[in-house]
Structures are given as C-alpha cells and as structure tokens.
Structure 1
Amino acid sequence: MSRPPIRRVSFDSLSLRDLHDLLALRSRVFVVEQASPYPDIDGRDPGALHLIATDTSGAIVGCARCLDPDEDGPDAPVSFGRLAVDPSQRSTGLGRALVAESLAILVERWPERDVVIGAQQHLERFYGSFGFVRITESYDDFGIPHIDMRLRR
C-alpha cells in the first residue's frame, strides 16, 4: 500500500467538507478509539497550518497541525499536534511522514526555535527517533498518559 499524499492547508482555505472530515478523523481516533473525551475545539485551529493526507477516494486518512509560538520572544518554542492516522493507514509510514512534514514547516517558518510537543507517553520512542527528548514526568491528559518532549535546534 502506498502512502497517501500530504497537503498543507491554512484553516481559511479548508473547505467545509474538509473541515468536517478533519474533525471527524480526530474525533474517531482521539475520542472514540482512545476513549478520551477531550475538548478538541480549543481555538487554535484557525491560526494553525494543517496537514491533510487523503486516500485515493479523497477521504482524509491523516492529519496534523503546526502551531505558532504560544508566547513572544525569540526563545519561545513552536509545536505541532493533533496528529492522527486512520487505522486503515497505520504501518504505512504516514505517521512518520506527517511528523517529518510538520518539522519541515516549523524549520521553514522558525529556523532557530526548538520544537516542544505534548506526546502520548507510549509514543516516546517514535518521537525520540526524530531527536525529541523527554522534558517532563508523565501526566494525565484526559485519561491518556502524556509527556512533553523537546527537539533542540
């Protein structure tokens, strides 16, 4: 199975169908599959650059969002998150491709800034393979153990 293509889309360029399907994928993965009733609509999507992967039928099967810094100053880190892959596309390399594309975007936009993410704890080795290191103890994020990780630049 070949990996679906990934496109970069600003929030304002999302079609209503894409927005619906993007939120539906995140809900299926994070809320239903992982049984984590978290507040997905957090106000950060409008300012994010979204990555969307679609299969041959046009269905969204993977996504991520790249975020501006949370604070001012040259040392404020940047981040990406809400990375979700449909079960039909797991083990295809799509998750790795979404992380790589997210990092490429962040390097283009903020080449000197570290990247800090909140990662599900069971994915520590996965993110570690990109150079991320754990910077916090485990914490509960709506029923899912998480850790913060940093990629220094």
Structure 2
Amino acid sequence: MSDLSVTSLFEIYRLRQQVFVIEQQCIYEDIDAADKTALHVLGWIDDRGIRCASENASDSTEDNTKDNTKDNTKESHYPKEQLPILCAYLRIIGLENTAQTVSIGRVVIEMGSRRKGVGKQLLSTALDYIERIAPETTITLSAQHHLTGFYQVLGFCVVSDPYDEDGIPHVRMVKTLAR
C-alpha cells in the first residue's frame, strides 16, 4: 500500500477531533510527531461493508485489508452516496525500530459504528499485523478504564491502577505475543 494519502490524513484528523475533542471534550494537542512515523490502521465503511487496512505515513506497507466480516453498511447511519467514510482508526508506534515493545494508541470508533464489531475488527487487524512483523514483542496501550473488558477479550491485561489522562480515567494494558 502506498504512503498515507492526504484524504486519509484529513479523515484521520477529522475523526480524532470529532471523538476526542468534541464528543469527549478533551482539549489537548492531538496532532503530534508520532503521526509521521506511525503505522495507521483505518476502518472504512463502503458499499461492501467495513474494511480495515494499514497505511504508513513514511514508507509503503503491504496491504492488510480485511473484507471477511459481516456487512455493516446496512447498520450505518450514512447514506451510500457519502461512502466511503472513515469509521475507525488506531495508530501503532514502535514498529519502525523493530522494538521489543510497540504501542497502540489513538483508538477511535465513530459513534454510529460502535457496538457493531468494528473495534474488534480494527484491533484484530492491528494485532495480526504486529504479530507478522514483530512476533516476539510486547504491545502496550493506555485504555479508557470503562473499556478494559473489551481489551481483555483481545488478550490484554491491566498492569496499572487507574490514572487521569486528559480528564478521563485510563489504565495501562499489556499484551505479550507468544515467544
């Protein structure tokens, strides 16, 4: 897959602003230097359903598209003429250095796509990719406290007490890939 397109970058920033800044009312600097080197995993709603693919901001990466889940477009609140729409996103930091630890962050699902399996599909795409590239790594993330059950189903364990991050309770979670 080619470098991150201007359209993809715009949609990423639009979705992150909509959820993190407007919906969750967190005033913070969302755009940072990590976006330049991160691997971005995007979930798009199109006329075939939800598909997730990875895009790299600095280098090309292989296509990691998943089209094998149920068709979620019938559940979407978007008219077909507005498709495709970015409905989910996360970024992976640390893969570029083949580090022993990578981080998943900025996980966001737009309101109309929540509780429909989109988050699980997005995270599964990211975890599959990490396991192929760095099979002996530890994955960390900072999860909103109320979402710990979601991440635990995907194999993450809570490793901290709750802490405040931008006015929202979070916990540090870790998943170690098989060695």
* TM-score interval, smaller chain: 0.7 to 0.9
**TM-score between both structures, scaled by the size of structure 2:** 0.73
1:99 counterpart residue number: 123
> Please, which runs of 5 or more residues in structure 1 have no aligned partner?
1-8
> Structure 2: which amino acid aligns with 1:106?
I
Of structures 1 and 2, the larger Rg is shown by 2
Task: Please state if 1:54 is matched with 2:44.
Answer: yes
> Please, which runs of 5 or more residues in structure 2 have no aligned partner?
47-82
Separation of aligned partners in 1, 2:176 and 2:164 = 25
Count of residues paired in the alignment: 141
Separation of aligned partners in 1, 2:159 and 2:98 = 20
Task: Please state if 1:149 is matched with 2:139.
Answer: no
Cα offset for 1:38?
2.1
**TM-score between both structures, scaled by the size of structure 1:** 0.84
Describe how 1:1-150 pairs up with structure 2 within 5 A.
13-56=3-46, 57-68=83-94, 76-150=100-174
CA contact (8 A) 1:62 1:85 kept: yes
Separation of aligned partners in 2, 1:149 and 1:126 = 11
Separation of aligned partners in 2, 1:133 and 1:92 = 23
Separation of aligned partners in 2, 1:80 and 1:125 = 17
- Give the superposed CA RMSD: 1.9
Deviation >4 Å, runs of 4+:
none
Separation of aligned partners in 1, 2:39 and 2:19 = 20
Separation of aligned partners in 1, 2:22 and 2:45 = 21
**Aligned with 1:100: secondary structure?**
helix
Give the share of equivalent positions with the same residue, in percent: 33
Cα offset for 1:120?
0.7
